[in-house]
Copies of this chain bind each other. A is one copy, B any other.
Amino acid sequence: MESYSTSELNKVIRGSNRATYDTKTIHTIIDAGFIGHVSYVFEGTPICIPMAYGKIGDKIYLHGSLKNRMLSSILENEQMSMTIMHLDGLVLARSGFHHSVNYRSVTLFGKATKVEDDKLKTEALKCVIDQMIPNRWDSLRPMTEKELNATLVIEIAIETASAKVRADGAIDEKSDLELPVWAGVIPIKQVAKAPISDQLLEDTVQIPAHVKDYYVKNKN
């Protein structure tokens, strides 16, 4: 599938020149993060909550406590949605009207189902941890049965999605170009600082390759 189908649900109306339904673009944006905002409705009020996610193929995995209100709600609802956004820059134009931001965002839609199978549950939790920091899972002790039983894992098969991407300079009115106003872009990036070892760490435990790799890749 090269692109997601569009309907009234996911079709981008405002700023449609920045919209795409291209599958590869959408998955690249999802893969670039590990926290998205999941929406639900509580007694008539829509609310969204930031959640860590993992992805295997076209399926998104969320996890939480068995009693998590949001997760319970999306399991009950016919359809859920989730938004992932990366901020890439402040776009400072010569007029307030044309100020903007550079960003990559995806809103995906699907139905939430509970993962019951312990093997898939474990794989899903692995992909959530490795989405946060690649290759982490294999350095950890295995999950206990008690932990697995205390964890609710939700699978969302992506049914459709849309992305919006802005990666451009300031776009001003022609009549404003000669104004003595500075215009341009301030790039924004999410970076990692040097890892801080736990105070209770055994002296013999060194910072492992996957943590060093993450830091080196994300420090600038």
Contact = CB atoms under 8 A, between A and B. Distances in A.
Interface in A18-68: 35, 37, 39-50, 52, 64-65, 67-68
A200 B178 CA distance: 9
Given A35-B87, A78-B44, A105-B50, A179 B95 contact: no
A146 to B, nearest CB: 9
A120 to B, nearest CB: 15
Contacts of A77: 44-46
A39, A83, A105, A180 pick with most chain B CB within 10 angstroms: A39
A211 interface: yes
Interface residues of A, number: 96
Given A9-B43, A96-B140, A205-B181, A83 B196 contact: no
B95 A64 contact: no
Interface in A169-220: 169-170, 172, 176-202, 204-208, 211, 214-215
A133 interface: yes
Copies in the complex: 2
8 contacts: A9-B45, A14-B65, A97-B151, A139-B182, A182-B201, A183-B201, A188-B193, A189-B190
Given A50-B85, A96-B147, A184-B197, 7 more contacts: A14-B67, A46-B46, A99-B129, A170-B198, A182-B197, A182-B207, A186-B192
